[in-house]
Structure 1
Amino acid sequence: MGLFDALVKKKSEPSVAERMAAAYDAADRGDYETALSIWTPLAHAGVARAANNIGACFSEGLGVARDAKLAERWLGLAAEGGDSVGQRNLASLYFKGEGVAQDNARALALYRAAAAQGDGPAQDMLSWMLLESDAVTPDYLEARRWAEAAAAQGIAPAMTRLGMIFHNALGVERDAAQAAQWWQRGATRGDADAQAMLGAAYHLGMGVARDAMAAMTWLLRARAGGSPLAPRFFDVVRATLSPADMAEAERRAALPLESAQDSSA
């Protein structure tokens, strides 16, 4: 083979990015066998995100039988390679303890590593662990910092958590208005617990003006979304509304959430 032929062959070989894109296209079609056939040699070549994707397939049983040990192995390679998604997925494996020994300390360390790289879901989960996990010493200031980082990336549960931080005065002065603002942001992004708390805020006049119609509208959305917080307030608020008002609240609750961006409900 001449030098020119070698250069042409080298130029025609797809890049890592192109091969990863082809694998993602296959996965989107449900063809995980093809996706895995692309990711496997890339992972062996040191592409950490490919190793994560293989681990995720073993974790979820996508194109292969579920195998927690193989998921742990591949996700471990991804995490060691510095892949933030791999670190987060491995953290989730240890946090849940499904098929592997539960290890909250390792989960926390991995979430920290991924969060430090800017991974929004890891920032959200790290915030939750620092605030609510029984296995971790609470750190309200750090929990708020990571919740704010996740919220800045549009993660609705982090916004809801910030509302609870200001509502319950966890490391901050109690601020009902700030709490309501965060619940509003989470609620309009579809978080059912934020919708429930915003409904309660409108019912009680916490940080917002009392508004039974807005309260019921948000509680209806929260109940439809499965929030366990909604039933605490639902019947009390419904008792304050006439049948016509209740019908109007149901009409508003059925509207797309986009309609709530610029209004109370």
Structure 2
Amino acid sequence: MPVDHRRAVRYYRRAADAGHIEAACNLGASYHRGTGVRKDEHKAFFYIRFAAENGDELAYCGLAESYYFGEGTRKNYRKAFEWFRRSYLQSRRAKAADWLGALYAEGKGVRRDLRKAFLWRKKAVASGDEPALFSLALMYIHGEGTEKKPDEARKLLERFLEHNPDDCDARYWLGMISPAAEALPHFDFVYRREHDPWSAWQIVRLELKVQRWFTPERFMELEKMLHRAVQGKVPGANRLLRSRLWKLRRETAISSKELAARFRKTRNWRYCYALHCRGGRVEFEIGKQYLFSDDRDDIYVGARILGQLMNLRCERPFPQETIVLVKKRMTGLSENDSDIRAEVLRAAAWQHIPEGQEYLMRFADDPAPEIRHVVAWGIYGENRRETEILLKLARVPDLDVCDWGLYNLIEGDCGTWPEFLDGLMELTKHSEAVMRHQAIAALVFRRVPQAERLIYQALQEPQAEEFQYLADAAGYLGLTELQAEIRRKYMAETCM
């Protein structure tokens, strides 16, 4: 049988005029919605009030909402509160509990009490009211009537979005309390739907936090969002648009090929770092092309690009391929061109994989100090062979090589056999204070008994700028008072 709202209204009216309470409630709802009859808020209020005053529990909330919004009558928050309260007390309606929470939160019709607002909304959620999930989540977010509990708010918002996946307000607030990677899709959804300036601002802010460099296409999108935030008068948006940071991002939001060309021309590291952060196959091929050029500047640029190529959102993508390229390029370089050879070799050291470490150690006896410096810098003493090479490099006359060799011996995990410890003891008599102190620190980290005595002996030396290694060593031994004394002396003498 087809639905006929006009006929239903006719029968509702006859029954209501005869005093039928439920029919009066239905007739009031029909006037309120305008179904089967012309919409008329005054008549809707008349019939709903008649039903409510004669005990129809379904009409209680309808009458309360009429008083709250002033539909068919004057606004009267006090009466709205009373009818919502009666609705909950007599029929335990979840909707009424949520409304009572709203009235307590707003202080309308009753004295403002956030604690009671929180408790009423909690009752509404327990009774199964979906809108109350969102309002209770906001109270947890802002700490209204309760402690701030973002985890609880997040659970409530996720439950709410299961039933209302397109609700932009819920998505916005879920984004506000979520980690950056999870928040971005929520803000993006709201911005695409409503072109909301606040969501646009959050996207720009989070993108700057997560990703420091952008492709030209992505930067154009972000700049458009930032302009939308400025138009919406979002605090901080106009300041960011005019800032040096944003100008820098605009300057580097160019193609990877152009970034490499600018790095070659200016040697400005921000261009190279932008390539590193993109870290894709395109950037790898650009580095490869530069590496196999005949021009010395091109080779330097290629080695730098390949050496530190990475992607901040995933693992380093091309380490094995880079090692193969480095080996191939090193065979084609003259032994007299030691600075360029060192830069290419450094690209292998940056990969931090066993193949790269093995290749580095082949150059430990290279006569060029630049090459030995890269070897001392690039291996970490993680096995006996690496430790022996570092100890050997720590004994060379070149202070840069010696410094890195000792530094990595301190950091390395391997090396407690007698010959190695004797070598470190020998280095504690080095002519340079920084070398002596690093050797002492390496002995301390290997729990050599004489190390504590060596710390006290070194403290008699006048070189204040080198005391930091001794302070770290004392802290490692648990000598906290001595560590504090060393640091006080270090600060006092360096400030003189």
Q: TM-score, normalised by structure 2?
A: 0.39
| From 78, 99, 116, the counterpart of 1:69 | 78
- State how far apart, in whole Å, the 1-side matches of 2:236 and 2:64 are: 35
1:103 aligns with 2:103: no
Residue aligning to 1:156: 168
Q: Confirm or deny: 8 A CA contact 1:193 1:228 kept in the other structure.
A: no
String of CA shifts for 1:166-198, please: whole Å, max 9, x gaps. 23xxxxxxxx21111222233334354323212
- State how far apart, in whole Å, the 1-side matches of 2:51 and 2:187 are: 43
1:200 aligns with 2:209: no
- State how far apart, in whole Å, the 2-side matches of 1:49 and 1:218 are: 47
Matched residue count: 224
Shift of 1:121: 3.0
Residue aligning to 2:188: 184
- State how far apart, in whole Å, the 2-side matches of 1:161 and 1:181 are: 12
Shift of 1:134: 4.6
- State how far apart, in whole Å, the 2-side matches of 1:95 and 1:112 are: 13
Shift of 1:101: 0.2
1:22 aligns with 2:35: no
Q: Confirm or deny: 8 A CA contact 2:78 2:108 kept in the other structure.
A: no
Change over 3 Å in CA distance of 1:180–1:19 after alignment to 2: same
- State how far apart, in whole Å, the 2-side matches of 1:234 and 1:43 are: 57
Shift of 1:53: 2.4
- State how far apart, in whole Å, the 2-side matches of 1:159 and 1:107 are: 23
Letter in 2 for 1:130: Y
- State how far apart, in whole Å, the 1-side matches of 2:220 and 2:50 are: 58
- State how far apart, in whole Å, the 2-side matches of 1:46 and 1:209 are: 67
String of CA shifts for 1:70-93, please: whole Å, max 9, x gaps. 111112123332333322222111
Shift of 1:136: 1.6
1:216 aligns with 2:219: no
Letter in 2 for 1:24: H
| From 110, 133, 157, the counterpart of 1:123 | 133
Q: Confirm or deny: 8 A CA contact 2:32 2:41 kept in the other structure.
A: no
- State how far apart, in whole Å, the 1-side matches of 2:126 and 2:197 are: 28
Shift of 1:113: 2.4
Change over 3 Å in CA distance of 1:163–1:42 after alignment to 2: same
- State how far apart, in whole Å, the 1-side matches of 2:30 and 2:116 are: 33
Asked which structure has the greater RCO (Cα within 8 Å, sep 6+), the reply is 1
Q: Confirm or deny: 8 A CA contact 2:95 2:124 kept in the other structure.
A: yes
Give 5+ residue unaligned stretches, structure 2.
Answer: 1-10, 17-21, 252-496
Residue aligning to 2:177: 165
String of CA shifts for 1:193-231, please: whole Å, max 9, x gaps. 3232123334x1637984332223334444556655755
- State how far apart, in whole Å, the 2-side matches of 1:230 and 1:30 are: 45
Which structure has the larger Rg over C-alpha atoms? 2
Q: Confirm or deny: 8 A CA contact 2:81 2:100 kept in the other structure.
A: yes
Q: Confirm or deny: 8 A CA contact 1:91 1:107 kept in the other structure.
A: yes
Q: What root-mean-square deviation, in Å, do the aligned CA atoms of Structure 1 and Structure 2 show? A: 3.5
Aligned residue for 1:166, secondary structure, equals coil
String of CA shifts for 1:33-60, please: whole Å, max 9, x gaps. 1111121133235544532222222223
Aligned 1:252-263 pairs, distance under 5 A: none
Q: TM-score, normalised by structure 1?
A: 0.68
Change over 3 Å in CA distance of 1:119–1:188 after alignment to 2: farther
Residue aligning to 2:428: none
- State how far apart, in whole Å, the 1-side matches of 2:236 and 2:167 are: 20
Residue aligning to 1:59: 68
| From 143, 149, 152, the counterpart of 2:153 | 143
